[in-house]
C-alpha cells in the first residue's frame, strides 16, 4: 500500500489507498477487480471507466488479442434485450464475485484466496506423491515449510504481483457470465467447427448470462462434508446433490430458466465505477 501510494503520488486523505470502508447504498455489493500498479493513479483520480476493447491494451490483468477477437465475435450475437442494457464483452468492466475464491487466472487474486492449514497439508501430500519436482522448484522439503511459504504475505506478493480493488456495485445492473462457456466458444473458434456451430456457441454463452443479484441469491459453492465423500447440506440444491465442489450450483427455489451450474463466474459491469466506490486492498 505505501509503495503504491508513493508511486502514484496520491495525497488525499480519503482515496482508494486510505479507504477502509466503502460508503455506498445499502443494496450495493462488493466485487473484485484486478489491475496493475501504473493504473492506480488514474483510478484514484477518476474511478474505473469503461473503455472499448481496442483501447484496453495492457490494462487490467491483460487480455490477449485472441480474447479480443472472441469478445468481438460474441458481441456480434448479443440478444437485443441485453443490448438494451448496454451489455457487451468489449465495453464492460470485468470483476469477480468472491475474494476467497479468486478469479481462476492465477494472478494477484491468489494472495487473498482462503488457504486453510488442512487444505495446504492435503495439497502438499498430493504434490509430494505426484509432483515432487514442483516442491523442489518451490524450495520446500516438508509440509511445515509448504504451509509457511503459502501463507507468507511477502512470498505471495512476490509470486503473484498486481493489485486487487474492491468495488461496490448495484447487483441488479451487473451481470454474471460463465468463463467456462467463454472457453467453449474459444475451443469452437479454434477447431474445425462450422460457422453455424460457432454462432450457436456464442448464443449459448449469452443465454447463460444472469444478473449479479440472481447469482448471489440463488447460487452456492458446495463443500465436502466431514466424511469427504458427500456434499455438506446436499438437500439445499435444486437439482440434487452436486457431484463436485467446483463451481457454483443452483439452490432450491432458483427459477428453472436459470442455469444449474456456473463453473467460473465473471462479473460484467456495464457502467463506470466512481472513485468513492473503490478501495485498494492491502
* Cβ atoms within 10 Å, residue 47: 17
Tally of CA atoms within 13 A in the half-sphere of 218 that contains its CB = 21
**Axis crossing angle, helix 179-189 with helix 195-207, rounded to the nearest 10:** 170
CA 160 to chain centre: 15
Confidence of residue 52 (pLDDT cuts 50, 70, 90): low
Strand partners, 211: 175
Backbone angles phi, psi at 216, to 5 degrees: -70, -30
pLDDT digits over 131-177, tens only?
A: 999 999 889 999 999 999 999 999 999 999 999 999 999 999 999 99
E strand intervals along the chain: 29-35, 93-95, 163-169, 175-178, 210-211, 219-220, 248-250, 261-262, 265-269, 278-280
Q: What is the pTM of this model?
A: 0.85
In DSSP notation, 137-182 reads: HHT--SHHHHHHHHT-HHHHHHHS-SEEEEEEE-GGG-EEEEHHHH
> How much of the chain, in percent, has pLDDT values that exceed 70?
91
Strand partners, 259: none
Q: Which region among 113-117, 205-209, 262-266 has the lowest average model confidence (pLDDT)?
A: 113-117
Amino acid at each position: 500500500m505505501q509503495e503504491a501510494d508513493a508511486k502514484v503520488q496520491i495525497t488525499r486523505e480519503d482515496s482508494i489507498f486510505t479507504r477502509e470502508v466503502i460508503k455506498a447504498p445499502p443494496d450495493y455489493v462488493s466485487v473484485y477487480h484486478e489491475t496493475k500498479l501504473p493504473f492506480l493513479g488514474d483510478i484514484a483520480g477518476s474511478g474505473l471507466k469503461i473503455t472499448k476493447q481496442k483501447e484496453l491494451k495492457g490494462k487490467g490483468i491483460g487480455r490477449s488479442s485472441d480474447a479480443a477477437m472472441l469478445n468481438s465475435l460474441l458481441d456480434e450475437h448479443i440478444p437485443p434485450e441485453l443490448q438494451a442494457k448496454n451489455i457487451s464483452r468489449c465495453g464492460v468492466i470485468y470483476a469477480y464475485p468472491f475474494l476467497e475464491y479468486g478469479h481462476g487466472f492465477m494472478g494477484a487474486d491468489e494472495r487473498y484466496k482462503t488457504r486453510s492449514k488442512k487444505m495446504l497439508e492435503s495439497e502438499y501430500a498430493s504434490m509430494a506423491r505426484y509432483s515432487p519436482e514442483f516442491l523442489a522448484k518451490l524450495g520446500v522439503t516438508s509440509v511445515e515449510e509448504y504451509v509457511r511459504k503459502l501463507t507468507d504475505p511477502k512470498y505471495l506478493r512476490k509470486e503473484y504481483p498486481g493489485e486487487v480493488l474492491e468495488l461496490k456495485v448495484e447487483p441488479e445492473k451487473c451481470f454474471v457470465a460463465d468463463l467456462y462457456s467463454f472457453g467453449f466458444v474459444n475451443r469452437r473458434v479454434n477447431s474445425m467447427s462450422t460457422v453455424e456451430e460457432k454462432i450457436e456457441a456464442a448464443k449459448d454463452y449469452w443465454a447463460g448470462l444472469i444478473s449479479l443479484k440472481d447469482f448471489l441469491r440463488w447460487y452456492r459453492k458446495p463443500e465436502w462434508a466431514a466424511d469427504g465423500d458427500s456434499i455438506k447440506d446436499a438437500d439445499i440444491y435444486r437439482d440434487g446433490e452436486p457431484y463436485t465442489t467446483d463451481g457454483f450450483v443452483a439452490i432450491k427455489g432458483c427459477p428453472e430458466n436459470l442455469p444449474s451450474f456456473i463453473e467460473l463466474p465473471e462479473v460484467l459491469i456495464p457502467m463506470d465505477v466512481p472513485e468513492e466506490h473503490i478501495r485498494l486492498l492491502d
